[in-house]
């Protein structure tokens, strides 16, 4: 599944990093607002659901090789966050849905998180 397809399922719009990032393959999912936790526990190719819109979300996504970032609850990225996402080609999806609904829908169309061993 691509980032574009995932975005469509949660009525989201890719507001930054739409270029080649839009076709990134989504291989899993992770939801957290604690960026240290995302650094520790997300996996490459994950679509990351968060409330955080600070510029560091792009750095974390790049570092972990995430497929993209979903900002929930109608939140928009800060200006420098959007600019950095363009530069680093990290797609940011904005959706009006809360995190719980977004995760539920993405799970329903087949995206899975990583289960602890």
Residue number, 5 or 37, with CB nearest to other proteins: 37
Residue number, 18 or 71, with CB nearest to other proteins: 71
Q: How far is the CB of 23 from other proteins (least distance, A)?
A: 26
Residue number, 20 or 79, with CB nearest to other proteins: 79
Q: Supply the angle between the helices 56-64 and 79-88 in degrees, to the nearest 10.
A: 20
Q: How far apart are CA 103 and CA 85, in angstroms?
A: 22
Closest to 95 measured CA to CA, from 1, 5, 3, 9: 9
| Interface pattern 22-61 for other proteins (x via CB under 8 A) | -----------xxxxxxx------------x-xxx--xx-
Beta strands 92-94 and 13-16: pairing type?
Answer: antiparallel
């Amino acid at each position: 599944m691509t980032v574009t397809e995932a975005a469509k399922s949660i009525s989201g719009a890719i507001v930054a990093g739409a270029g080649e990032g839009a076709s990134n393959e989504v291989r899993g999912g992770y939801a957290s607002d604690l960026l240290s936790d995302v650094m520790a526990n997300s996996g490459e190719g994950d679509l990351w659901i968060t409330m955080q819109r600070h510029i560091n979300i792009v750095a974390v996504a790049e570092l972990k090789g995430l497929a993209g970032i979903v900002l929930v609850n109608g939140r928009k990225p800060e200006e420098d966050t959007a600019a950095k996402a363009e530069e680093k080609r990290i797609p940011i999806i904005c959706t009006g849905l809360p995190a719980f609904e977004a995760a539920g829908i993405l799970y329903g169309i087949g995206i899975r998180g990583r289960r602890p061993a």
